Structure 1
Amino acid sequence: MKVAFIGTGSMGSLLIEAFLRSGALHPHFIYASNRSREKADGLAKRYPGLRAVSSNVEAAAGSQIIFLCVRPLDYPLILAEIADVLDESQIVVSITSPVQIEMLEGRIPCKIAKIIPSITHSALSGASLCIYGQRILPEDRLLLEQLMSSISEPVVIDESETRIASDISSCGPAFIAFILQEWAEAAARHTGLEYHHAIRLGAEMLHGTGKLLTGGGFSPEELQRRVAVPGGVTAEGIAVLRARLQHVFSALIETTHRKFEEDLSKLDQSFTKQAGQV
């Protein structure tokens, strides 16, 4: 099976390395292309057998699965470049949320899926968001979800849910890391606890809490009830969080959705411009 990765930047490289580390893909299966050839060559050196190719066309031609790991505004040019070597038997996977499935289905003959990954896949964990186009068959879904299950927990969603789901699964690690950083810095300022110790404690706490909320049988509400004894320290702390954070997450969602709409508008203009040049 030939699997192509067009774009070997941050997320493209992360996916390749996660698939290889999990054993889901062998280096000989992977063809990688990148605007800066050095990045693809670096992967080929680290993983003998992986093929760094000189063009996106060479990567895409004959591949069963093609992961498009490029910036949204690069899609129109990439699709125009590889369209002639694609056919209806191939699966093209977009990993970026603003690119709509109908945009892809209108320009290339392939089966289309959108899979939104997360940095957590580098630890072979986290959720991957799976959205499927009209041409995807049940066996295609099975193939993709088996592949993604080697590095994540595949979760099938509607395309209309992409932005909010991505806020949690893909942006969430950065949001939570920021909260932990702020908490650790405050702990270091106000107590004798060293910053790096606070980060270690917080990281272990997040790891254990995640286990309780996934395989441990706890809901967020149940977990709070078990820890926050009425009149205790935790209950007092939750009261502070409830008062201070009441509007924070609504503002966060409004901000990410506004940026998403801006990206959609720019992308639509880019696709329209490219179509006019054909």
Structure 2
Amino acid sequence: MNVGFIGIGSMGSLLIDTFIGSGALKPSQITASNRTFSKALCLADRHPGLQAVPSNRDAVINQDLVFLCIKPMEFKTVIDQIRDVVQPQQLIISITSPVMIEQLEESLPCKIAKVIPSITNYMCSGVSLCMYGDRMTDADKIRLTGLLSYISEPLPIDEQHTRVVSDLSSCGPAIMAYLLQRFIDAAVEETGIPHEQARIVASEMLLGTGQLLTAGGMTPEELQNRVAVPGGITAQALALLNHELDGIFNRLIRTTHTKYREDLDRVKVSLYGKEVNGP
């Protein structure tokens, strides 16, 4: 299987590094292009055998799968560049949530999927959110999920739930890391514990908590009940959080959804022109 990558920024390079590191792909199976060609050359130096190419068209030709790891407003340019070399049997995979499968199917004469990865995939953990276009066969889905299973748990979702599930899977690591950072900083400020010691303890705690909630089979509610003895210290802490954080995550989700809707509108204008969306 030959796999092309258009765009090797943060997530594109993460996918390539992880596919290779997990044994899912050999460097010789990968062709990569990037707006800044020197970055593709550096990636090829890091993974001998990987082919860096100067044009996006070259990243598509003779590839079985092609990952589009680009920003929403870059899709119109890239689609125009590759449209006449895309073949019907090829599978094009977007990792960009506000670009809809229907839009890609209208623009390209091939099979289309959308996959939303997560930074947790770098550790061969977490989920990959999978959405499939109408032209994909069961064999195509098996091939794609087989590749993704090396680095994640592939999870089919409905495209209408892309944003909220992405909040949990892709934004979630940054949100949890931010909360952990604030917890660590407060511990240092209030008690004088060495920052590095607090960071190690808290990070290991988060790892163990994740294992309890997955392999351990606990729900978040069950874990809280196991730790928080009525009238105890943890119960007091949870009561404070319940009061202070009331509604904060609802507002967080409304914020991400508002930005998502703005991005959807911008992509439509970019792909179809303003006349489609009114003045």
1:273 is displaced (CA, Å) by 3.0
SS in 2 for 1:60: coil
Separation in structure 2 between the aligned mates of residue 4 and residue 137 of structure 1, nearest angstrom: 20
Report what 1:252 is aligned to: 252
Report what 2:234 is aligned to: 234
Deviations 1:116-168 (A, max 9, x none): 01111111111111111111111111111111110111111000010000011
Q: Report the aligned-residue RMSD.
A: 1.3
Separation in structure 1 between the aligned mates of residue 216 and residue 69 of structure 2, nearest angstrom: 34
- 2:203 alignment partner AA: A
Separation in structure 2 between the aligned mates of residue 274 and residue 234 of structure 1, nearest angstrom: 55
Deviations 1:10-60 (A, max 9, x none): 110000000000000000000000010011101110111000011111110
Which range moves more in the overlay, 71-80 or 266-275? 266-275
Report what 1:198 is aligned to: 198
TM-score, normalised relative to structure 1: 0.97
1:231 is displaced (CA, Å) by 0.9
Specify every segment of 5 or more residues in structure 1 that has no aligned partner in the other structure, as ranges.
none
Cα 1:142–1:274 change in 2 (3 A) is farther
SS in 1 for 2:179: helix
1:274 is displaced (CA, Å) by 10
Separation in structure 1 between the aligned mates of residue 171 and residue 217 of structure 2, nearest angstrom: 25
Map residues 67-86 of structure 1 onto 2, 5 A cutoff.
67-86=67-86
Report what 1:266 is aligned to: 266
Contact 1:11/1:69 (CA < 8 Å) preserved in 2? yes
Report what 1:7 is aligned to: 7
Separation in structure 2 between the aligned mates of residue 275 and residue 152 of structure 1, nearest angstrom: 41
Report what 1:208 is aligned to: 208
SS in 1 for 2:5: strand
Contact 1:76/1:274 (CA < 8 Å) preserved in 2? no
- 1:193 alignment partner AA: I
Map residues 112-123 of structure 1 onto 2, 5 A cutoff.
112-123=112-123
SS in 2 for 1:186: helix
- 2:42 alignment partner AA: G
Report what 1:218 is aligned to: 218
1:192 is displaced (CA, Å) by 2.4
Count of aligned pairs: 276
Report what 1:26 is aligned to: 26
Map residues 175-190 of structure 1 onto 2, 5 A cutoff.
175-190=175-190
Asked if 1:90 corresponds to 2:105, the answer is: no
1:227 is displaced (CA, Å) by 0.6
Specify every segment of 5 or more residues in structure 2 that has no aligned partner in the other structure, as ranges.
none
- 2:28 alignment partner AA: H
1:215 is displaced (CA, Å) by 0.9
Q: Percent identity?
A: 51
- 1:184 alignment partner AA: I
1:2 is displaced (CA, Å) by 1.3
Separation in structure 2 between the aligned mates of residue 119 and residue 42 of structure 1, nearest angstrom: 21
Separation in structure 1 between the aligned mates of residue 116 and residue 56 of structure 2, nearest angstrom: 21
SS in 2 for 1:56: coil
Map residues 141-156 of structure 1 onto 2, 5 A cutoff.
141-156=141-156
- 2:33 alignment partner AA: S
TM-score, normalised relative to structure 2: 0.97
Separation in structure 1 between the aligned mates of residue 201 and residue 110 of structure 2, nearest angstrom: 47
1:171 is displaced (CA, Å) by 0.6
- 2:2 alignment partner AA: K
Separation in structure 2 between the aligned mates of residue 136 and residue 187 of structure 1, nearest angstrom: 51
Deviations 1:79-101 (A, max 9, x none): 11101111210100000100000
Contact 1:77/1:274 (CA < 8 Å) preserved in 2? no
Cα 1:217–1:5 change in 2 (3 A) is same
SS in 2 for 1:112: strand
- 1:122 alignment partner AA: Y
Deviations 1:101-126 (A, max 9, x none): 00000010111110001111111111
Separation in structure 1 between the aligned mates of residue 158 and residue 63 of structure 2, nearest angstrom: 26
- 2:115 alignment partner AA: I
Report what 2:107 is aligned to: 107
